[in-house]
Structure 1
Amino acid sequence: MNWFGSKPKTNVPSQTNLQAHRAKQIDSLKKNNLSPIESIPNTEYRVTCQCGGNNIILIISLPPQFPQDPPTVTITPPVVHPWVDPTQKIVGCQNLNSFSMHSSLGHAIQSVVEEFKKNPPQIRSQPYGPQLGYPPVPPPNAQFSGFNPGGMAAGYPSPPTLPPSIPGGSRVSPVLDSRRQAEQSESTVTQNGGIPNVKVAFPELKKKSLSELNSILHEEEKVLEMIQNLPDVAKLAEDREKLSNECIGLARENLSKKPTILQMKQWVADKNSLFESMREEFESNQVQLMSESDKFQPTNIQTCLKVSLMEAEEEAENIVGELMDKKINIDEFMQKFIQTRMLCHTRRAKEEKLHQIIMQQGY
């Protein structure tokens, strides 16, 4: 018992700086909503993502000196992807290749998941071959029966398995089981990505012998006739005919609108020519307006008044010269001179007033 209130001593060692960074990096997986599963505590984690309809598992291995040393990420099941090498190790992710103490493990794994969702990897092992999910084409002597324990060659699909027994301990008889399998097979016309089920599409082949099947296989006309009689092929022909009729109807409707289109085109051409003529007339009128407006500028009017004033003064001097040369008498001189000098004073007054207005208005 601690009588003096001091804290009890514990033997648990304090967490090192590297361990704290390691825990922080592991928590970043949870913060990025990756839902990691801990396989080995603080060493191995697994993240599941769905890419292209397949479940991909990322195995994240943390070295002892992580995060000083980068993690190793492998993928299962075996896939084919530019980021994955033959050993199923992810080598194309830049965030993983340049991983350091300041990187985020959650962001790096999130970038891998986003790349696989954007470009789904191709699973190496498929139920019906290494690359495609289609069953191999059976040889010409293959049997078309439901169960062929000895006639199938190596590498072909195994016979269908029986469905599980009914809960409660009761079992289904083989006859009822085979009927149920037949109903399930006949309910699906196509299998394995759109390839027709031969038994359902061509039920008459069940009654033919092996020699008859071989003869049909080598007669292209009969094979084509059987394919053309398929419901999907017949529906395709109907759809094609329907689309062809719709295209023909649209073409005829477009041709019926041709006169209206030509009439509207001519109307647009007429309006365009009218617009061009009116534009030219407007531009010429605008040029004339600018020239006329220049004539009535205050500065131009002042210049014209100065010129008129000089002309009037020159005319008055000429009248005085005529009097000195005795070309006119005194009465005629008085009449012309007074009228000319009055015109000079009037123009001078107008010019001075206009100059005052120009200075005040700032023309």
Structure 2
Amino acid sequence: MAASWLSYLTKDQTSSSGLPPVTALQEQRGKQITSLRNLNPNVVEIKVQAEYRISITQQGHNIAIHIILPPQFPQEKPVVRVSPPVRHPWVSPTMEVIGCPRLCSFGVHTDLGRVVQDIVQEFTQNPPMVFPSNQQSPPPPAMNSYTPYPEGPPNQMPMVPPSYNSFQPMQNPPGQPQESFRPQWPPMTAPQGTAEVSGSISHIDFPSAMDTADQATSMTKSEADRNLFVQPNAPPPLLQGPANLYQIPDIDESFNILNDLSSDDLQSLHDDERKFMELFHTMPGLKKFFEDRTELYHICQGLDCKPALERKRKTVRELEEQQQELRERFEKNSIKQRSLNRECDPQNLLDNIRVVAADAEHSSDSLAEDFMEENYL
């Protein structure tokens, strides 16, 4: 595919050929495109100096990375989109890459080729989950759906319960009294993109306990005053296979604390949502659920750090091998040094000199005696 002449002509060439001069912004744009081509293979130009595509294959799926350059690029950062729809911590629900550090801090002097190279390496080390062509990317829930865990710890979540439209009570069948109230939990089956099993840990989008409280407060005053007994929630179907590890804590069938309250207290509890939420959060099952959710959050954080931990562990092993080699060399040199120290010790040198002097004196006596005998003869 023919590349644009704009990024390869100098100012002298353009002035001599009668073409409009290349501006500094266009020159920087051309250098960025050249870097993109040099550092990344299979770069396909869709629109001249405006849109490029890189294709990679992960887990049998072809993933296309589209690099869109705005008119004021590189003063404006590029837009990187992914197709087909995928789920990845770096990809937003609109399939735009927003988690790459280099891309988020993109500036005039940022290397576009290295930005795209980082995205390709991230998709290679942590392959994104690709949705089938006939399945749309699921809409984000109350928390960010394209991250493997909430943005913050569960204990920092807002106390105001969000709306949870999928949590709706079942209609009573004919002949069943109205007092038998059994809310319906949304199914927790694992479509592709909802649960991802890694080893023995599974990421499951559990319904929030705040959402349960929001549905509970929607009961009418007459139902609350008429019957303080609430049927337990219908247990959701569990996942099949190794993901079947988490058991939702049991919910008490009755609230014994309400038995000692007067009608005025119940009316105040019914009208004041804050008091109701305080009472709701004292339930042992709900406390256990919050603790489990916090533990699961930290586990997911640990799994997210596992690749970096493995790389650091490999580096530590290499440093240990290098340290062992240096230690062996040090031991050999230490032995050699001790031997040289013994040989060059002043006392040893003095003893050697004395021995040599005694030998020389004995030799001189022998020579003198021989000389005297020869003269007499």
TM-score, normalised relative to structure 2 = 0.32
Ranked by relative contact order (alpha carbons within 8 Å, sequence separation 6 or more), the top structure is: 2
From the CA coordinates, give the structure whose radius of gyration is larger. 1
